Structure 1
Amino acid sequence: MEDNILSLLNSIYECQSACKYCFNACLEEARIDMMRRCIKRTVECAEICEHTASSLAYTGDFTHEVLSICIKACEECAAECRKHNHLHCMECAKSCSECAEACHDYMDEYRKIA
């Protein structure tokens, strides 16, 4: 189980980093007005990833709920980033999708044990 948590944490931190990078890159785009929703999603997703990683590290009582929120944030961020043809958005969407999948897998594994 510990290897699963470490793998999940790695995926969460990668997603958080991709979101932060995407946020900064979006701010540099020429038509920033079209990027507002993407900017908002990436900031929110990065913050939720940070909270999720902390919750996992402490094995809190609300880990399942926190993971559910992380999945939703990652899926929403990925969907928004896919609307844009920028490389940073495509990479962010990929990382967010992988993080959501990793959270799902962890929750499935956790249910088998509990």
Structure 2
Amino acid sequence: MSKHENQSLISALHDCMAACNHCYDSCLKEDDVKMMAECIRLDRECADICGFFEQALLRDTPFKAELAKVCAEICEACGKECEKHDHDHCQECAKACFNCAKECRKVA
């Protein structure tokens, strides 16, 4: 598959990675960091898999479907955790995660 055929997925992965990194950094600055621990952990997991999957797609990985399935699961978990918190950065992250999970499921 060409980069063009994967563009919406690549964009969703990149946007999700950026949102998770922003959320992670912002959560570390919250007054009650312990309350944000699971959000922080999942932000890292999600940003890492999205970044890896984006790079793998650009290399035309033969494991596209398998990676998409795992990525969708992690994005969904991160989105569910982020939506529990009222912070703007968490809400924006949840939206990006759910969008990315949707795009991943199209190819999983």
Range into which the TM-score falls when normalised by the shorter chain: over 0.9
Partner of 2:7: 6
- Opposite residue 8 of structure 1, the aligned amino acid is L
Between the aligned residues of both structures, percent identity stands at 38
Matched to 1:37, the amino acid is E
Q: In the alignment, does 2:82 pair up with 1:88?
A: no
Rounded Cα–Cα distance in structure 2 between residues aligned with 1:79 and 1:101: 14
Which structure has the highest helix share of the two? 1
When normalised by structure 1's length, the TM-score is 0.89
Partners of 2:67 and 2:77 lie apart in 1 by 15
What is aligned with 2:57?
A: 56
**Structure (1 or 2) with the larger CA radius of gyration:** 1
Please report how far the alpha carbon of residue 55 of structure 1 lies from its aligned counterpart in structure 2 after TM superposition. 1.4
Structure 1 runs (4+) greater than 2 angstroms displaced: 1-4
Q: CA deviation at 1:4?
A: 3.5
Does residue 48 of structure 2 align to residue 67 of structure 1? no
**TM-score normalized by the length of structure 2:** 0.93
| Consecutive unaligned residues in structure 2, runs of 5 or more | none
Between Structure 1 and Structure 2, how many residues are aligned? 107
Q: What secondary structure is seen at the aligned counterpart in 1 of 2:6?
A: helix
